[in-house]
Amino acid sequence: MDLKGTAILNMTRVILHSDLNNFYASVECLYNPEIRSHPVAVCGSQSTRHGIVLAKNNIAKQFGVKTGEAIWEARSKCPGLVVVRPNYMQYLRFSMLARKIYENYTNLIEAFGIDENWLDVTESTRLFGSGEKIADEIRRRIRYELGVTASVGVSFNKVFAKLGSDMKKPDATTVISPDNYKEKVWGLPASDMIYVGPSTRRKLAAVGINTIGDLACAPPGFLEKHLGQWGRTLWIFANGYDDSPVTRLDFQPCVKGVGNSLTTPRDLCTDEDVRILTYVLADSVAERLRRHHLKGRTVQICIRSSDLAFIERQGQLSHYTCTSSEIAEKALEIFANSWDWSKNIRMLGIRVTNVVAENECGQLSFFDDEKRLRREQLENSIDRIRSRFGHYSVQRAVLLKSGELNANPVEENVIHPVSFFR
């Protein structure tokens, strides 16, 4: 990489990062005015052991309530905490409304989760003014048109734009330019930078790197020695050399796999429990493969035990598939070879990788494929019935054995940020 050339290229770009403040909690307070003056936390269901804080308002923040902590921990800090269940469809609606506002300024919009977006407004500055002016106008429109607030970072690359949106909240614009980035950024803790999580922070601290400036000034070879190739990437980020583009609005990333997992309402302790949940997850994964006209050949399972230990195993099918029965049967085979029941199971997941378009799967044979095609046609019919009458209108008999494990994984999903690297 020509870092000097990259730096010059970056100076010509104007990148915004818009982050909707306390998003879930802000939407809940918008629709429930009576709780706006109280500390509010949006939390998962305790009955299904998803009882953690997903978002909180500013009043709850003042009591020290943190995202990711258990509800009982949050309530011990804030006895008057108002806990509400998440409404993901409402959040998706607001996310799309915010995106419609962004589309007035550029078609280079890249989502980073449900409430964050990068915008490349380099060319738009000719019509709407500076990046800071565009950011201020976007914040004003979000506040008055949607009733929530946003913080916007303005910079010459995506990494610093995101840092800017985090630096001042709520409802603020922060500009990090080629002239002031050392002053504004280098004094921040290294953990403030994207992809420096707790483990990486500890590794950096162990070698005396505590700030983003320390990271920027460290020799790249030294960082690679301690962090591998990731060390050089973080050095590039810290020095403002990131040249990753903001993807187009209509960009469709290549699907590498489809998966689903569930933390169960109670520990799984028998093969029958695993069998039930495996078919629940396989149904969900297969339906999503068919919806996107895909088939896969590699089945992965992931297991988190009752003591939170984690394993992942995989196996390959003899052919590509999008049917739940084949996915489930392979997953159960992998499970039988991987788990000895020395511990109970808290979370189970299934993923299908090695994915291709359904019309790229190869030549049909005269023997096994007739049965496979009939199975696909059957499951496509079930998809149509469920889309009209609901997920539970057609069920496997095995799932009737345990109502508490027979969930709808699609509705249980929590929406996570997508990867920075496309």
For residues 284 and 98, the model is more confident at 98
Mean pLDDT, range 370-393, rounded to an integer = 80
Q: Is the Cβ–Cβ distance between 237 and 200 less than 8 Å?
A: no
Report the C-alpha gap between 32 and 28 in whole angstroms. Answer: 6
The topology under which CATH files domain 257-412 is Dna Ligase; domain 1 (3.30.1490)
- Choose the catalytic residue: 28, 116, 379, 412: 116
Q: Which CATH number fits domain 186-251: 3.40.50.300, 3.40.50.620, 1.10.150.20, 3.40.1160.10?
A: 1.10.150.20
Please indicate whether residue 224 is annotated as part of the active site: no
294-305 and 345-357 strand pairing: antiparallel
4 pLDDT higher than 60: no
Q: Nearest Cα to 94, choosing from 195, 188, 9, 26? A: 26
Q: Which pLDDT value is given to residue 5?
A: 45
Q: How confident is the model at residue 34 (pLDDT cuts 50, 70, 90)?
A: very high
Q: Where are the domains of the chain?
A: 13-178, 186-251, 257-412
Mean pLDDT, range 194-206, rounded to an integer = 90
Dump pLDDT digits (tens) for 138-174. 999 999 999 999 999 999 999 999 999 999 999 999 9
Dump pLDDT digits (tens) for 84-97. 999 988 998 999 99
CA distances from 266 to 52, 57, 144, 308, 385 (A): 16, 30, 44, 14, 30
Q: Which pLDDT value is given to residue 7?
A: 43
Helix axis angle for 198-206 and 220-227, nearest 10°, is 120
Mean pLDDT, range 229-242, rounded to an integer = 93
Q: Which pLDDT value is given to residue 10?
A: 44
pLDDT, the chain, mean: 86
Mean pLDDT, range 83-112, rounded to an integer = 93
79 pLDDT higher than 70: yes
At the fourth CATH level, the homologous superfamily of domain 13-178 is Reverse transcriptase/Diguanylate cyclase domain (3.30.70.270)
